[in-house]
């Protein structure tokens, strides 16, 4: 805190230290059962698994039983589609690159209606195009998963 706020003066440093101490005190008071239950271990000698968030989403979809993905490439959701293209066929699933986001949403809804766990992934502009399909999903009470990735 001192290094971070020293340019702003001693009063700012002292106020931030007091805020930290008060937060710590409240944590001990209100969550005392959790303090000390967790410890960090040195993992330098252990193998590590690294993955990006979009791959984790794809892995979660596979683990949840998804067997169909319909999507139109859009950054940053394209990485989810790339992951699924590489892995969905291994469990008997299929990925379809559609002509647009509207088709992707409707194909995912149709697949779910037919009993296949399906989803689509997009970003803000693509999600905007899916609004009518999302309404269809609600009116027909058909489950529908849209992964909305965020840009920026």
Q: Does residue 43 fall inside a structural domain?
A: no
Q: Does residue 44 fall inside a structural domain?
A: no
Domain around 3: 1-27
Q: Does residue 118 fall inside a structural domain?
A: yes
Q: Does residue 106 fall inside a structural domain?
A: yes
Convert 81-99 to b/e letters by CB count within 10 Å (16 or more is b).
Answer: bebbeebbeeeebebbebe
Structure tokens at 16: 């931030």
Q: Does residue 36 fall inside a structural domain?
A: no
Claim to verify: residue 75 and residue 137 sit in the same structural domain: yes
Write the CATH number for 118.
Answer: 3.40.50.970
Claim to verify: residue 58 and residue 1 sit in the same structural domain: no
pLDDT for 80-138, tens place per residue? Answer: 999 999 999 999 999 999 999 999 999 999 999 999 999 999 999 999 999 999 999 99
Claim to verify: residue 7 and residue 58 sit in the same structural domain: no
pLDDT of the residue at 31: 66
Q: Does residue 62 fall inside a structural domain?
A: yes
Q: Does residue 123 fall inside a structural domain?
A: yes
Count the domains in the chain. Answer: 2
Claim to verify: residue 14 and residue 59 sit in the same structural domain: no
Higher pLDDT, 41 or 64: 64
* C-beta of residue 70 within 8 angstroms of C-beta of residue 96: yes
Nearest to 66 by CA among 42, 83, 46: 83
pLDDT for 52-86, tens place per residue? Answer: 999 999 999 999 999 999 999 999 999 999 999 99
Claim to verify: residue 61 and residue 17 sit in the same structural domain: no
Q: Is the Cα dihedral 139, 58, 90, 88 positive or negative?
A: positive
Q: Does residue 39 fall inside a structural domain?
A: no
């Amino acid at each position: 805190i001192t290094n971070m706020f020293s340019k702003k003066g001693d009063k700012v440093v002292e106020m931030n230290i007091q805020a930290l101490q008060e937060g710590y005190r409240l944590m001990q008071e209100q969550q005392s059962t959790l303090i000390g239950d967790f410890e960090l271990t040195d993992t330098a000698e252990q193998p590590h698994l690294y993955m990006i968030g979009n791959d984790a989403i794809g892995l979660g979809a596979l683990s949840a039983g998804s067997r169909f993905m319909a999507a139109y490439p859009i950054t940053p959701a394209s990485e989810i589609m790339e992951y699924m293209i590489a892995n969905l066929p291994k469990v008997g699933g299929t990925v379809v690159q559609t002509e647009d986001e509207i088709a992707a949403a409707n194909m995912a809804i149709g697949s779910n209606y037919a009993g296949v766990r399906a989803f689509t992934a997009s970003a803000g502009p693509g999600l905007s195009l899916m609004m009518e399909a999302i309404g269809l999903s609600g009116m027909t009470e058909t489950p529908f998963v849209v992964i909305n990735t965020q840009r920026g």
